[in-house]
Amino acid sequence: MSQTVSMVTPDRSGIVVDGEFIAGFPHIASMTERDQLRVALWAQKVAPHSVTPEQQKLLTERPRPDVSERIEGQRQDRILRSPLVRALWDDLDERQQALVLNPDRELGKRFPLSTGELSRLTGMTKRQVQYWSERHLLPFWLSENGHRQFEAAAAIVAFALSTSKQHDRQHYASVAEGNQPLAAMRRAVSVVGLSALMVADRFDSHELERTEQTLRLVADAVRELRGAREAGGLEAVGPLQLLT
């Protein structure tokens, strides 16, 4: 059974493999080639002196994506239209929404943004932007030279994260990066949902309606994902496409 790397540690001193900490960024033959490449990329970025010959070979031979800004723009537009992203948009304050709509007022340019530019726009540090994008919480695409490019959807999520408490953000990351993220999500929804429902009389009807809508959107996406898998078309249909 292959080992699975789940994340680079917050202090970037090593990786977590099957729930266990491993110092540094070693090449581990029992990993899938995809995970070996992920570790090699982290090593190249964080500790280039530690890159092994096997990792250098992976980095040299990895296929370079045929980047098309038009295609990436279309994909990012689909993500932006996701009802779940729109739900996060509704929680932003007027200033944050204005910055998403007109980033040029703050930065002097429009989307896409670099890591540093998204940091300046949202008030997050560059380290935080890198951290949350590595944990798949901020959508991005890679330019031809391998730099991360962030669109409006990433800014919306970044603002939502920036106003969340630190322990909440860590929980989001642990759920997203865990070996069983869906099981962790179900437990969180069940525990917090049960607690909230016991005091449901404190919430107005608008809040209850928005909660119901969000849960329904997730349920619909999961249902369509199951259908795509059963039909054998999972590779052609990504989860974010199902939310558009």
Residue with tokens 């929680």: 91
Q: What percent of the chain has pLDDT over 90?
A: 23
* Spatial separation of the C-alpha atoms in residues 42 and 118, rounded to whole Å: 21
Tell me the DSSP string of 101-161. Answer: H-THHHHSS-SSB-HHHHHHHHS--HHHHHHHHHTTSS--EE-TTS-EEB-HHHHHHHHHH
Residue with the bigger pLDDT between 122 and 192: it is: 122
Which of 152, 121, 144, 138 is CA-nearest to residue 69? 144
Q: Give the CB-side neighbour count of residue 78, counting CA atoms within 13 A.
A: 13
Is the pLDDT assigned to residue 244 strictly greater than 50?
no
Residue with the bigger pLDDT between 3 and 203: it is: 203
Residue with the bigger pLDDT between 215 and 1: it is: 215
The CATH number, out of the four listed (1.10.1660.10, 3.40.50.620, 1.10.357.10, 1.20.120.1780), of the domain defined by the range 69-166: 1.10.1660.10
Note the pLDDT tens digit of each residue in 96-151: 999 999 999 899 889 999 999 999 999 999 988 988 888 878 988 887 777 889 99
- CATH 1.10.1660.10 range(s) for the chain read 69-166
* Spatial separation of the C-alpha atoms in residues 82 and 100, rounded to whole Å: 16
What tokens does 57 get? 């070979």
Residue with the bigger pLDDT between 200 and 130: it is: 130
- pTM, 2 dp: 0.60
